[in-house]
Amino acid sequence: MDARRTTRTLLAGLATAALLAGSAGAASAAGASPGAEPAGDGARALCKRAPKVDRRIDRALKRLDAGKARRGSVARLQQRVDNAKEAGHNEIATFLQGRLDTRESLKKELQQRKKDLAGVETWCAKNDGGKKGSGKKGSGK
């Protein structure tokens, strides 16, 4: 068991090192310094990704709003907090309550992002998927 953990940790470290080395190599190959300002606001890329982001938000909200039988739901975690309090496990209840508070704030954050994303999708529809009015410097748009 301990050998598996060591191997897993070693592989995770190697993968992280490879990613860091690859991203540093790509940045230097592109000729851009890491602190350089972006050329635009990324509108076209955001417009392209908006439907996928919307699906991810919907999936997360669906999981959070599910009933007690669904892992990851607010209701299930609330039930666990209640069970810990009934059993007199105050430390467990306090820990789980912190997780519950975080999960409830995540739900509010995702609902706000969904509203914001709806505005982005409307803007994208009016601006040809971000091709019009991209906000690039010096383009005069």
Question: 114: which residues sit within 8 A by CB, 6+ positions away?
Answer: 54, 57, 58, 61
What mean pLDDT comes out for the span 81-88? 97
pLDDT at 59: 96
Q: Report d(CA 114, CA 108) in Å as an integer.
A: 10
Q: Are 44 and 131 in contact (CB under 8 A)?
A: yes
Q: Provide the pLDDT confidence category of residue 11 given band limits of 50, 70 and 90.
A: low
Q: Are 43 and 135 in contact (CB under 8 A)?
A: yes
With pLDDT > 90 as the criterion, what percentage of the chain qualifies? 57
Q: Are 114 and 108 in contact (CB under 8 A)?
A: no
* pLDDT of 83 higher than 70: yes
Q: Report d(CA 78, CA 75) in Å as an integer.
A: 5
pLDDT at 139: 44
* pTM of this prediction exceeds 0.75: no
Q: Provide the pLDDT confidence category of residue 42 given band limits of 50, 70 and 90.
A: confident
Alpha-carbon radius of gyration of the chain: 22
- Bigger pLDDT: 73 vs 32: 73
